Chain A
Amino acid sequence: METERDPSAVLAVAIEGLSLRINNRILIENFQLHLPAGRRIGITGPSGCGKTTLLRTIVAQQITPPSKATRFEFRPGRVGYVPQEGGLLPWYSLQRNLSVFAQQNDNHKEWCNDILRWMELDGVAETNTQKLSGGELQRARLACAIASRPSLFCADEPLTEVGLQQRWRLLKAWSGEINERAASLILISHDVETLFYLCDELIVLGGERGKPATEITPFTLPDQNHPRVPGQLDSKLIESFRQLMSRG
C-alpha cells in the first residue's frame, strides 16, 4: 500500500491516510504517497477509480470535507499542472497564455520562445487557443506547465493525442527539463510506455468494481536514468506490468 520510503530524503509530497470522497461516495481509501524531491511517480488504474480527483487534490494542496487525510504536506514551490482538458485561457493566444504562466520568471519572453520551439508550437504561437487541434492543445498545456518553472509537475494523460514519433521527441525534451530543474513528477496515464519512459516508480490503483480503490500496488523500475532512450524499454517488464494492471 505504500511507496518505498527513504527517511533521509526531502519529500516533495507526503500524503498519509488520504480518503477521497465526493458526495458521500468514497473514491479512494487510505492512500499513501511519499514522493522524494526529484523523483517521478506514475499512477494508473481503471477509468473512474479517482485518479484525476486525486491529482486535482494534490495540485490544489487542499482537502475539501468530507475527504480527509492524516498527513497532507508539500514542499513549498510552484506546481506545473497539465490537465486532461481546459487549463488554458481561451480568450488569449498561445503566446499570451505562456506569458501569463511564465510572468514570474526573469527573461520570460525568451523562455516562452524556447518552450514554443521545444514543444514544436512556434508555428501557432499567435493562434487563439480555441482554434488549436487536440494534439496542439495537449502540447500547449504542457508548455504552460513548463513555463512556470515548477518544482513539481502534475500531469494527467499528457500527449495522448500526439503522433507517436512526435510524442517521443516531446517526452524526451520534457524529461530533460524535469532533470535539469531536479523537479518531481506525478504522472497519471493509461499508456504503459509513457509511464515506463518517464517514471521511477508506478502505483496501480484498483479494487472491486463499484467499491473504493484501495488496492495500491507499488512497482519500482530498475532503470533510474533520465532521459531514457525511446524505443529501448524492457518489453518483458512492460508485459509483466500489463498483467499486474489487469489484476488491479
Chain B
Amino acid sequence: MVEYVWPSGKDVLLTTLRWSGGVALGAVVALCVAGFEALLRVALRYVRLTVFPFTMVFDFLRALPVIALVPLVQMVAVDEWSKFALIAWAVTFPTWLAIRQSWLEQMIDTELALKASGLRKRDILRSYDLPKAFRGLLRGIEISIGIAWISVVAAEWIGNLRPGFWDGGLGYRVEYAHQSANWSGVLACLGLFGLLGVVSTFLWRTLVNRKLRLPRIWSIARHGN
C-alpha cells in the first residue's frame, strides 16, 4: 500500500523525463512556428491586414486549457507520446509568444545604424534579427519551465494502458494519495514538484550563464533591454 500512496524515486524520474521531453518538443515546435510566421510576414509585407490570420489561429489555440484537452486525448490515444504532446502543447505557446515579441520588437536606431553602414541583409539577419529572436527563445523557455511542471500533472492523468517502465509519476501519486485520503502523501508530492521546479530553473540558468557563455543574452532576456 505504501508504495502506491508515497512517491518513489522512479516517480520523480518518470515525471522529470516527461517534463524534459515535453519542454524540448514544445521549444522546437515554438521555434518552427515562429520561423514560419516570420517567413509569412516577409511574404505578406506588402499586404495591409487589420488582423494577421496566423496570429488569430494561434490566439484561438493557446486559449484551450491543457486540462480540458485530457478527455480529447483519451479518446484519441493513451500512450506516452500523448503525454509528451500535452506538455509540449502547454510549452509551445508562451515560448512562441516570447520569440515573436522579441522578433517584432524594434531597436530603431540600431536597425538604422546597421542598414546605413551598408551591411548586407544576411549580415543583419545574422548579427541582429537572429540574436534578438534567440533571447526570446531563452525568455520563453524560462517561463515554460514552470508551466511544463503544471501540465505534467494533467498529462499523467491520461493514464496508461500498458503497465511497464512508464507506469508511475508524481501526477499519479497525487491522485492515488487523494483517493486514499493520504494528505501527507499529497503534500509530499506538492513539495517534490516545488523542489523540481527550483532545481530545473537553477540548472537552466546555470546552463545558460556558464556553459553556453551567454550572460548578456540571459541578462537581456530577464531584465529587458
Interface residues in chain A, defined as those with a beta carbon under 8 Å from any beta carbon in chain B: 56, 59-61, 78-81, 83-92, 100-101, 103-104, 128, 130, 141, 144-145, 147-148, 150, 154
Residue pair B110, A150 in contact (C-beta under 8 Å) = no
- CB contacts (< 8 Å) of B116 on chain A: these are 59-61, 78-81, 150, 154
Whether B220 pairs with A130 at a CB distance below 8 angstroms is yes
Instruction: Indicate if B47 sits at the interface (CB-CB under 8 A).
Output: no
Q: A56-B108, A130-B220 are in contact. Are A81 and B113 (CB under 8 A)?
A: yes
A-B contact count (CB 8 A): 80
Q: What residue in chain A is nearest B124 (Cβ atoms)?
A: A100
From B109, B127, B216, A86 is in contact (CB under 8 Å) with B109
Residue in B closest to A82 when the chains form the complex, CB atoms: B113
Among A61, A85, A100, A150, chain B packs the most CB atoms within 10 A around the CB of A100
The residue that B215 contacts in the complex, of A87, A101, A128, A150, with Cβ under 8 A, is A128
B83 within 8 A of A: no
Q: A91-B216, A100-B123 are in contact. Are A148 and B110 (CB under 8 A)?
A: no
In Å, the complex CA distance between A74 and B217 comes to: 37
Which chain B positions have C-beta within 8 A of A144?
113, 117
Question: How far, in Å, is A160 (CB) from chain B's closest CB?
Answer: 16
Can you sample 15 A-B contacts with CB below 8 Å?
A: A59-B116, A60-B112, A61-B116, A78-B117, A80-B117, A81-B113, A85-B109, A86-B109, A89-B110, A89-B128, A90-B220, A91-B131, A92-B216, A100-B123, A144-B117
Query: 3 tightest A-B contacts by CB?
Result: A148-B117, A83-B109, A79-B116
Q: Is the interface of B mostly helix, strand, loop or mixed?
A: helix
B225 within 8 A of A: yes
How far is B84's CA from A123's CA once the two chains are assembled, in angstroms? Answer: 50
Partner pick for B118 among A85, A87, A128, A148, CB 8 A cutoff: A148
Q: Hey, what's the 0/1 contact readout for B105-148 against A, CB within 8 Å counting as 1?
A: 00111101111111100010001100100010000000000000
Please judge, given known A-B contacts A89-B127, A90-B220, A128-B215, whether A104 and B119 are in contact too, CB under 8 Å. Answer: yes
Taking CB atoms, residues of chain B closer than 8 Å to A78 are 116-118
- Contacting residues, chain B, for A128 (C-beta < 8 A): 215-216
Contact assessment for A100 and B109 in the assembled complex, using a CB-CB cutoff below 8 Å: no
Asked whether any CB of chain A lies closer than 8 Å to the CB of B160, the reply is no
Q: Which chain A positions have C-beta within 8 A of B119?
A: 100-101, 103-104
User: Which residues of chain A are within 8 angstroms of B113 by Cβ–Cβ distance?
Assistant: 59, 81, 83, 87, 101, 141, 144-145
Residue of A nearest to B218 (CB): A91
Cα distance, A114 to B55, chains bound together (Å): 48
Determine whether the beta carbon of B117 is less than 8 Å from that of A91: no
Between B117, B127, B216, B220, the greatest number of chain A beta carbons within 10 A of the residue's beta carbon is seen for: B117
Flag if B220 contacts A103 (CB, 8 Å). no
Residue B184, interface by CB 8 Å:
no
Question: Measured between alpha carbons, how far is A56 from B116 in the docked complex, in Å?
Answer: 10
Please give me the residue from chain A that is nearest to B115 by CB atom: A60
With CB as the reference atom, state the residue of chain A lying closest to B117: A148
